[in-house]
């Protein structure tokens, strides 16, 4: 296998890790809302930590290298809030079921389904620049590409679970839950394809595109974690439990990143 094929394979495997998270629903009980709350809280912690510590930080770092001091930081900040704005507009356009108006089981399940779909959309969008990153790393250093792919796969697993669990609870279909979780990861190889195109045509612009896309994706993930995952988790679990699993999620991905640094 040549280096391009190997780089594409890494992006595909990292993306499909969301499907591994979706497999967890096969072993959970539909009636157990506590599991749902734990899954959502855990994934929110992963998203928040990854967004601020890895994705946004890397985006700002790259942009600062591309522009004069301060300009890259400003551009990255604008991209971050642009990501929040775009996903907020998408959220606003989607139909809501207001608890005060409709407290039926049907309304609850519709809101859970919406939470799962919004999570899937956000994760699919942010997987694109992750695929970009994995492909680029593998092209320059296969060992680095493997390490990056492992780190990305580790945090894709709980993200896949966060999508699948509400979809499963809302529809009662394990197949639909697994399909949503798995398909959201397929934008990762698309990111690799985009990186390949830029490498062959527009290499000089790689840094700017890379930085902006990461800052933008960070904003999307922060919005989903705070606006969708945590409120949904608090509906089905106590405040203390939600906070506990939020921080466990943060610790999990923090340890994963430390392991990556040790490998490198």
DSSP string for 42-106: HHHHHHHHIIIIIIHHHHHHHHHHHSSTTHHHHHHHHHHHHHHHHHHHHHHHS----TTT--SHH
How confident is the model over 182-202, as pLDDT tens digits?
Answer: 888 888 888 888 888 877 776
**Residue 101: pLDDT band by 50, 70, 90 thresholds?**
very low
Q: What's residue 100's pLDDT?
A: 44
**Average pLDDT over all residues of the chain:** 79
Q: In which domain, by residue range, is 41 found?
A: 3-263
Q: What is the pTM of this model?
A: 0.68
Q: What is the DSSP string of 136-169?
A: HHHHH-HHHHHHHHHHHHHHHHHHHHHHHHHHHH
**Residue 105: pLDDT band by 50, 70, 90 thresholds?**
low
If you average pLDDT over residues 101-126, what whole number do you get? Answer: 66
How confident is the model over 146-160, as pLDDT tens digits?
Answer: 777 877 786 677 677
192 vs 161: CA distance, rounded Å: 24
The total number of structural domains in the chain stands at 1
How confident is the model over 23-55, as pLDDT tens digits?
Answer: 876 776 655 678 778 877 887 888 788 788 877
């Amino acid at each position: 296998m040549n280096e391009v094929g190997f780089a594409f394979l890494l992006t595909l495997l990292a993306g499909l890790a969301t499907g591994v998270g979706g497999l967890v629903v096969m072993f959970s009980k539909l009636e157990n809302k506590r599991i749902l709350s734990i899954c959502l809280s855990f994934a929110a912690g992963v998203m928040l930590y990854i967004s601020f510590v890895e994705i946004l930080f890397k985006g700002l770092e790259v942009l600062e290298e591309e522009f004069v001091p301060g300009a890259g930081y400003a551009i990255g900040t604008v991209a971050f809030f642009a990501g929040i704005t775009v996903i907020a507009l998408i959220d606003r356009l989607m139909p809501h079921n207001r608890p005060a108006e409709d407290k039926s089981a049907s309304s609850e399940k519709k809101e859970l389904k919406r939470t799962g779909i919004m999570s899937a959309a956000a994760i699919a969008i942010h997987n694109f620049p992750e695929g970009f990153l994995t492909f680029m790393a593998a092209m320059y250093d296969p060992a680095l590409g493997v390490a990056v792919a492992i780190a990305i796969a580790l945090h894709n697993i709980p993200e896949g679970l966060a999508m699948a669990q509400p979809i499963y609870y809302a529809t009662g279909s394990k197949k639909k839950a697994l399909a949503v979780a798995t398909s959201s990861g397929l934008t990762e190889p698309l990111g690799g394809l985009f990186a390949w195109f830029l490498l062959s045509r527009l290499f000089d612009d790689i840094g700017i595109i890379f930085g902006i896309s990461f800052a933008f994706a960070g904003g999307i993930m922060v919005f989903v974690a705070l606006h969708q995952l945590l409120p949904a988790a608090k509906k089905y679990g106590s405040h203390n439990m939600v906070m506990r699993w939020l921080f466990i999620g943060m610790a999990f991905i923090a340890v994963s990143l430390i392991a990556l640094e040790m490998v490198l």
